[in-house]
Structure 1
Amino acid sequence: MTDDPGLTREGPSRPGTLERAFLEVLWSRDAPTSAREVQADCAERKLAYATVRTVLERLVRKGLVTRTRDGRSWSYQAAGRREEFVAELMMQALQLTTDRDAALAYFARSVTPDEADTLRGALDDSGSASSSGIGGNSGSGGGDGGRRSGGGGRRL
């Protein structure tokens, strides 16, 4: 594994600035991307090719990037969508508190009205999706799927 304290699937820390820049490059492309292409997209940073490869390999070890053989070199792709990555960061941030309810309430009060509407819609959708095992609870007072529910069906 690695001694790097950056984001891993198990850890709460965030990727470094360079790792985030590389993820942005990979998310902006619809196809596997070579290290040379990542280097070109980050040309303003004047990075050595070896540095680009090292950072990409670190992202692969962290599970944030996948790689496939492309002739004698590798091509890289983000392992998931940007939205999934951000949601995972948010969930990891919630793990940092002993009072998830308070953190969620504070977050809910800090979003814009449009963002609150988006959250309401997602909660409504997760209620209907709970029968298929996708997040949320059914609203019938049933279990919380192994998660700490805190308030059950609290609405924003």
Structure 2
Amino acid sequence: MIRRSLEADVMAVLWDDPTPRRVRDVLNRLNADRDRPLAYTTVMTVLNRLVEKGSAVRHPDGRGYRYTASAPDEAGLAVRGVLARHGDAAVAGFLTELQADPDLRQRLRRVLDEGN
């Protein structure tokens, strides 16, 4: 059986429920599907790495933290990454593609209409 990375598993938990989650909540969810349970510190380390990468957000909660995904899905993270690396050039490139491709314009219109 091919396993996803632990980071991908943690992100799946965060995306599954947008409510800010404690490390223990994420740990319990991950361990429910595992033969060999993960350690609390392992999940805490992964969450901290995801925060450093900008994939997750840490919210103060008493003496600890709760975590949420920084984007609604993997595509949202990819868009953020492209914009972070390429800034206005990425936006300009997208607009150039829109002007050149009528099918892409229609797809964008459908997505925008679905969002309203």
Secondary structure of the residue aligned to 2:44 is helix
- Matched letter for residue 93 of structure 2: R
Which of 26, 29, 45 is the aligned partner of 1:38?
26
- For the pair 1:147 / 2:100, whether they are aligned, the reply is no
- The structure that is helix-richer by fraction is 2
Matched length: 90
Give the 5 Å matches for 1:20-59: 20-43=8-31, 44=34, 46-59=37-50
Identical aligned residues as a percent: 31
Report the counterpart of residue 110 of structure 1 in structure 2.
Answer: none
Distance verdict in 2 for CA 1:155–1:59, change over 3 Å: same
Give the 5 Å matches for 1:64-79: 64-79=55-70
Q: CA RMSD in A?
A: 2.9
Distance verdict in 2 for CA 1:151–1:28, change over 3 Å: closer
Structure 1 residue 61 displacement after superposition: 0.3
Relative to the length of structure 2, the TM-score reads 0.64
Secondary structure of the residue aligned to 2:102 is coil
Query: Higher mean Cα deviation, 77-86 or 55-64?
Result: 77-86
Post-superposition CA distance 1:13-67 (Å, at most 9, x none): xxx7111110010011131000011100110151111100000000000011001
- The answer to whether the 8 Å contact 2:21/2:67 transfers is yes
Structure 2, unpaired ranges of 5+: 104-116
Give the 5 Å matches for 1:80-119: 80-82=71-73, 83-85=75-77, 87=79
Q: Quote the Cα distance in structure 2 between the aligned partners of 1:47 and 1:33.
A: 17
- Matched letter for residue 154 of structure 1: D
Structure 1 residue 86 displacement after superposition: 5.1
Relative to the length of structure 1, the TM-score reads 0.49
Structure 1 residue 84 displacement after superposition: 1.2
Distance verdict in 2 for CA 1:68–1:147, change over 3 Å: same
Q: Quote the Cα distance in structure 2 between the aligned partners of 1:150 and 1:29.
A: 34
- Matched letter for residue 147 of structure 1: G
**Larger-Rg structure:** 1
Secondary structure of the residue aligned to 2:54 is coil
